[in-house]
Copies of this chain bind each other. A is one copy, B any other.
Amino acid sequence: ARTFATNAYGNSTVFEPLDTFPRRHIGPDDADIAKMCQTVGVSSLDHLVEKTVPASITIKNQTKLGPGVPETEVLERLKHIASKNKVFRSYIGMGYTNTVTPKVILRNIMENPGWYTQYTPYQPEISQGRLESLLNFQTMVCDLTGLPVANASLLDEGTAAAEAMIMCFAQGKRKKNIFFVDQACHPQTIACVKTRAEGFGIQVVVGDYEKYDFAANKGNVMGVLIQYPTTDGRVLDYESFVEKAHDNGAMVTCATDLLALALLKPPGEFGVDIAFGNSQRFGVPLGYGGPHAAFFSVREDLKRNMPGRLIGVSKDVDGNKAYRLALQTREQHIRREKATSNICTAQALLANMAAMYAVYHGPEGVRDIAQRIHNLTAVLAEGVKKLGHNVKTESFFDTITVELKYDAEELVIAAADAGINVRQVDARSIAVTLDETVTKEDLYDLLRVFATASFEESYRHGSRKQFFAPMPILDTIAQELGISATSPAQKFPSQLSRTSKYLTHPIFNSHHSETDMLRYISHLQSKDLSLAEAMIPLGSCTMKLNATTEMIPVTWPEFSSIHPFVPVDQASGYRIMLQELEYALSEVTGFDQISLQPNSGAQGEYTGLRVIKAYLQSQGQQTRDVCLIPVSAHGTNPASAAMAGFKVVTVRCEENGNLDLEDLRAKAEKHKDNLAATMITYPSTYGVFEETIVEACKIVHEFGGQVYMDGANLNAQLGLCKPAEIGADVCHLNLHKTFCIPHGGGGPGMGPIGVKSHLAPFLPGHPVVKTSGELAIGPVSAAPWGSASILPISWAYLKMMGDEGVAHATKIALLNANYIMKRLEKHYKILYTNDHGLCAHEFIIDCRPFDASAHVQGIDIAKRLHDYGFHSPTMSFPVANTLMVEPTESESKAELDRFCDAMIHIREEIRQIEEGKQPRDNNVLTRSPHPIHQLLVDNWDRPYSRNTAAYPVKELRAKKFWPSVGRVDDTFGDRNLICSCPPIEEYEQDD
């Protein structure tokens, strides 16, 4: 029997539907739970909770989510809510356009758990598929922007701009503090840049690039930002400006549009140092603002300073080409408070989609799409002129700004009546952005709106004389302009016409039929271990079920086809869903208000700290700038604190992993005049509910600081305790961990924050769509609600689980972790347990003893686990040479046992080395993992058999996931950094 089968509900009647969800989400059934409790040494789940969760923090106000809603019903409800969104034709532009998602990509990547449940490819041997695809993304970005190195995605264009600014700042050795931004950038970009500038004390100057006086700020301008094409559509020749900036010691960063670059001279060819933008229009649905992948490319010599993840080409032990995440040592989790960026979770899944779009269309296809949009825009401009309006954009790609004969607001209303959105630029002007989905009929619809006249005569109140002006004929316009399939439009200066090639690599020239494309996607997928294959027991990552019912609404057009800047009345469905989600998140955390803007956990941290800063300022406490962070904290914590303008002071931990309360008190006292905040992860990164948490919060409060809780480990708390009740003032919630948004191979994610009421007025605002009040800090994401289209996932999860389900899931998460720990503790040293010898939802295995005993490291165990068909646990966080295991509640006892058996068997393999039966440097661990081809060599000269390598436990003969390359050489890859697709000859050599 499974708890939560309806007939196991106490109060159920014969009428309850049977498609209840918690029993599908949760792995172990009742019989398993009983057995596991026994192994753990507790009499029941409640007994387990009693022995793991301190009584002092257990939940005070029971959550009020209501009973779990069955799967069918939840989809019906959400469909009803979604139907309140109005799917208009949007020509608003501003970095977001409609796009045709090739269905083969939609179904086989975006809707495929084999792709969306993958984790960030930290284990290259079982991730070659998505690594290749992300390398394609980088290559595509390099080609189109004309810069040699690109990363594997950032969160959005606004934060990419902020990252670019900070790179300029760092390149200027933090000595120059002016960043000039041209006023023709998207407003949300400018706003995000301004927000980020504050923490670094950077002065952002917004103005007209043509008029900017570098001389006046001689030597103090570290960088400039221009947009190409501009937000209102102009395609400008920046060459002399770039020269001037460089002459004045400023770096040049450039927001741009990948599709425009198919026709336009790329930024890399007119001297730009950093180019970035949004790849959404490469096949990623609008989604009311996200998710989609921002791109970022730089000059060769900047590559080691780039934010975000970078895929590199390296080789494996056998010398075969192998991809990997390059320069990991450069990442924020190593640099901590010296970091200039805190980005972890990015937008891998969406980067893969954009890359596949380029693979599917190829250079000709991409150019055709760009050219067609440009042709249509040229025809539209002419049509609008014929209707007597003044087109202000003389040089353009896909966007024109039109000065109207009458009030812009009137036209906006007329457009809305026709189911069309345009952008209002000012009282008299509107802008229109075209995209690949536009048809001839759409153009007529648009022109009809421009033709609708007599606005003066109270258009709004009846007497609508529509179709006043005579409608121009589109074919005639095309003819007059001389635009045809063979004679394309070119409405920009000829020196800006693209001459260089792009997407020349065979990868972009081979998969243009659906069959070939499907096979390419499926081949890459077959190399990667996802949740569809096995448990991914990554500590601190919470790789739980991403249920199909949660995923299905994401690609409903009512959610996926909405532009983020539509009038609010068109997004009523979104508003309802967002409000219900905010309510539910408040319920489970105890916070008074939620901001759904931050796009990742790290962004949430940054946002929370900025909010604290704003609050302190409002209290006249602006001098408070010290942030206390335990040594055990995730690297994002100090990174975010530094970025938010805090001074990081480290707090020690005790031997047993607990926060050193004395040290906390001492540091708090020492900095009492400047204490701003503390950042605490709870349960701690060591996997234990510390008894002292309440006390710790009290201390910080006592000395005038705010408590920031890192919510990465919320999966251990939900339904049992609440961050706000424990004492936190603010906390981020990684929806891609506890709340079921899939990891997508490294993103998307969402990191909303919850705050107590005193902080609520400061939650982030947005320059285009109102999200907050007057005291709001600036936006931290380009879109008002971050990646809104994936929020239905968390909404559905909480609805389907209900109060009981949520609490039960947490208990099982605790049980699963403790069960594995108990089975393993006879074989491995476990770091840090509580007084009862129990852990929270994860625990750490100490691998350091094996260094001396067998010359075996944590990484050897991790790689050997691949041979057993498992993703490895988190390596060396928070303690070097350890493995942190987090099973989550979704894993069944059978899978946990399979993992335990593997680990125990590996322990025996280590013993063989310890006992001298196997050599220390040539054994089944150090030479793992074993891809098939390694095992088929004619002369097998290893001191263990092929079968020992491949099938250490017999179950593997029936089911085994194979790594596709041997152990990947990290050092080689970092030294010889290659970050775009290697030339085809390379492939041939490999064979």
Q: A5-B365, A552-B103 are in contact. Are A478 and B510 (CB under 8 A)?
A: no
- Identify which of A104-112, A389-397, A821-829, A876-884 touches chain B: A104-112
Q: Please tell me if A975 contacts chain B, counting CB pairs below 8 Å.
A: no
Q: Are A113 and B518 in contact (CB under 8 A)?
A: yes
Partner of A27, one of B375, B515, B552: B515
| A918-936 residues at the B interface, CB under 8 angstroms | 932-933, 935-936
A949 and chain B: residue at smallest CB distance: B936
Partner of A513, one of B12, B27, B526, B957: B27
In angstroms, Cα B6 to Cα A488, docked, is 14
Q: Please tell me if A417 contacts chain B, counting CB pairs below 8 Å.
A: no
In angstroms, Cα B113 to Cα A113, docked, is 13
In angstroms, Cα B958 to Cα A103, docked, is 27
What residues on B are CB-neighbors of A317 within 8 Å? Answer: none
Partner of A958, one of B73, B112, B549, B991: B991
Q: Please tell me if A387 contacts chain B, counting CB pairs below 8 Å.
A: no
Q: Please tell me if A678 contacts chain B, counting CB pairs below 8 Å.
A: no
| A1-33 residues at the B interface, CB under 8 angstroms | 1-2, 5-7, 12-15, 17-19, 23-27, 29
Q: Please tell me if A976 contacts chain B, counting CB pairs below 8 Å.
A: no
In angstroms, Cα B693 to Cα A681, docked, is 80
What residues on B are CB-neighbors of A894 within 8 Å? Answer: 510, 516
Q: A532-B518, A957-B933 are in contact. Are A103 and B14 (CB under 8 A)?
A: no
Q: Which of A25, A107, A437, A440 has the most CB of B within 10 A?
A: A107
Per-position 1/0 for A162-186, Cβ under 8 A of B: 0000000000000000000000000
Q: Please tell me if A379 contacts chain B, counting CB pairs below 8 Å.
A: yes
What residues on B are CB-neighbors of A379 within 8 Å? Answer: 14
What residues on B are CB-neighbors of A369 within 8 Å? Answer: 18
What residues on B are CB-neighbors of A436 within 8 Å? Answer: 18
What residues on B are CB-neighbors of A768 within 8 Å? Answer: none
Interface bin, chain A: 35 or more
Q: A513-B26, A938-B946 are in contact. Are A548 and B103 (CB under 8 A)?
A: yes
Q: Are B474 and A15 in contact (CB under 8 A)?
A: yes
What residues on B are CB-neighbors of A39 within 8 Å? Answer: none
Q: Are B72 and A437 in contact (CB under 8 A)?
A: yes
What residues on B are CB-neighbors of A523 within 8 Å? Answer: 533, 959
Q: Are B368 and A14 in contact (CB under 8 A)?
A: no
Number of copies: 2
In angstroms, Cα B18 to Cα A515, docked, is 19
| A376-401 residues at the B interface, CB under 8 angstroms | 376, 379
Q: Please tell me if A699 contacts chain B, counting CB pairs below 8 Å.
A: no
In angstroms, Cα B990 to Cα A261, docked, is 59
Task: Quote the shortest CB–CB distance from A207 to chain B (angstroms).
Answer: 38
Q: Are A24 and B514 in contact (CB under 8 A)?
A: yes
Q: Are A514 and B25 in contact (CB under 8 A)?
A: yes
Q: Are A516 and B27 in contact (CB under 8 A)?
A: yes
What residues on B are CB-neighbors of A958 within 8 Å? Answer: 987, 990-991
Q: Please tell me if A475 contacts chain B, counting CB pairs below 8 Å.
A: yes
Q: Are A515 and B17 in contact (CB under 8 A)?
A: no
Q: Are A1 and B533 in contact (CB under 8 A)?
A: no
Q: Please tell me if A684 contacts chain B, counting CB pairs below 8 Å.
A: no
In angstroms, Cα B15 to Cα A478, docked, is 9
Task: Quote the shortest CB–CB distance from A812 to chain B (angstroms).
Answer: 11
Partner of A547, one of B103, B483, B486, B549: B103
Per-position 1/0 for A479-508, Cβ under 8 A of B: 000011110110000000000000000000
In angstroms, Cα B18 to Cα A957, docked, is 48
Partner of A533, one of B108, B368, B522, B951: B522
Q: Are A947 and B954 in contact (CB under 8 A)?
A: no
Partner of A522, one of B13, B73, B114, B932: B114
Q: Please tell me if A519 contacts chain B, counting CB pairs below 8 Å.
A: yes
Q: Are A19 and B515 in contact (CB under 8 A)?
A: no
Q: Please tell me if A950 contacts chain B, counting CB pairs below 8 Å.
A: yes
Q: Please tell me if A890 contacts chain B, counting CB pairs below 8 Å.
A: yes
In angstroms, Cα B100 to Cα A19, docked, is 8
Q: Please tell me if A512 contacts chain B, counting CB pairs below 8 Å.
A: yes
Q: Are A936 and B951 in contact (CB under 8 A)?
A: yes
Q: Please tell me if A955 contacts chain B, counting CB pairs below 8 Å.
A: yes
| A335-372 residues at the B interface, CB under 8 angstroms | 364-365, 368-369, 372
Q: A936-B951, A991-B955 are in contact. Are A25 and B513 (CB under 8 A)?
A: yes
In angstroms, Cα B365 to Cα A29, docked, is 13
Q: Please tell me if A61 contacts chain B, counting CB pairs below 8 Å.
A: no
In angstroms, Cα B519 to Cα A484, docked, is 52
Task: Quote the shortest CB–CB distance from A731 to chain B (angstroms).
Answer: 27
What residues on B are CB-neighbors of A547 within 8 Å? Answer: 103-104, 514
In angstroms, Cα B368 to Cα A517, docked, is 43
Per-position 1/0 for A52-83, Cβ under 8 A of B: 00000000000000000001110000000000
Task: Quote the shortest CB–CB distance from A848 to chain B (angstroms).
Answer: 32
Partner of A439, one of B15, B102, B103, B372: B15
What residues on B are CB-neighbors of A108 within 8 Å? Answer: 113, 548
Q: Please tell me if A741 contacts chain B, counting CB pairs below 8 Å.
A: no
What residues on B are CB-neighbors of A534 within 8 Å? Answer: 519
Partner of A483, one of B5, B14, B519: B14
Q: Are A18 and B368 in contact (CB under 8 A)?
A: yes
Q: Are A515 and B891 in contact (CB under 8 A)?
A: yes
Q: Please tell me if A531 contacts chain B, counting CB pairs below 8 Å.
A: yes
Q: Are A103 and B514 in contact (CB under 8 A)?
A: no
| A800-851 residues at the B interface, CB under 8 angstroms | none
What residues on B are CB-neighbors of A100 within 8 Å? Answer: 19, 71-72
Task: Quote the shortest CB–CB distance from A885 to chain B (angstroms).
Answer: 17
In angstroms, Cα B73 to Cα A963, docked, is 42
Task: Quote the shortest CB–CB distance from A950 to chain B (angstroms).
Answer: 5
A483 and chain B: residue at smallest CB distance: B14
In angstroms, Cα B516 to Cα A549, docked, is 16
Q: Are A485 and B892 in contact (CB under 8 A)?
A: no
Partner of A13, one of B364, B475, B895: B475
Task: Quote the shortest CB–CB distance from A518 to chain B (angstroms).
Answer: 5
In angstroms, Cα B931 to Cα A951, docked, is 14
Q: A485-B14, A549-B103 are in contact. Are A513 and B892 (CB under 8 A)?
A: yes
| A942-986 residues at the B interface, CB under 8 angstroms | 945-947, 950-951, 954-955, 957-959, 962
A9 and chain B: residue at smallest CB distance: B485
Q: Please tell me if A696 contacts chain B, counting CB pairs below 8 Å.
A: no
Q: Please tell me if A545 contacts chain B, counting CB pairs below 8 Å.
A: yes
What residues on B are CB-neighbors of A936 within 8 Å? Answer: 935-936, 946-947, 950-951
What residues on B are CB-neighbors of A990 within 8 Å? Answer: 958
What residues on B are CB-neighbors of A73 within 8 Å? Answer: 439
What residues on B are CB-neighbors of A962 within 8 Å? Answer: 932
Partner of A5, one of B13, B102, B364: B364
Per-position 1/0 for A895-912, Cβ under 8 A of B: 100000000000000000
In angstroms, Cα B372 to Cα A951, docked, is 46
What residues on B are CB-neighbors of A23 within 8 Å? Answer: 512-513
A890 and chain B: residue at smallest CB distance: B515
Q: Which of A114, A485, A551 has the most CB of B within 10 A?
A: A485
Q: Are A513 and B18 in contact (CB under 8 A)?
A: no
A378 and chain B: residue at smallest CB distance: B14
What residues on B are CB-neighbors of A114 within 8 Å? Answer: 522
What residues on B are CB-neighbors of A29 within 8 Å? Answer: 512
A5 and chain B: residue at smallest CB distance: B368
Q: Are A938 and B932 in contact (CB under 8 A)?
A: no
Q: Are A7 and B107 in contact (CB under 8 A)?
A: no
Q: Are A372 and B18 in contact (CB under 8 A)?
A: yes
**6 new A-B contacts at CB < 8 Å, known A25-B513, A516-B892, A932-B962:** A19-B102, A103-B548, A107-B111, A108-B548, A515-B545, A518-B531
For this complex, 17 residue pairs linking A to B, each with C-beta atoms less than 8 Å apart, are A5-B368, A7-B485, A14-B478, A14-B485, A18-B436, A104-B548, A108-B548, A112-B112, A113-B518, A514-B890, A516-B895, A526-B526, A936-B947, A936-B950, A938-B945, A957-B991, A958-B987
Q: What 3 A-B pairs are tightest by C-beta distance, nearest first?
A: A103-B548, A15-B440, A14-B375
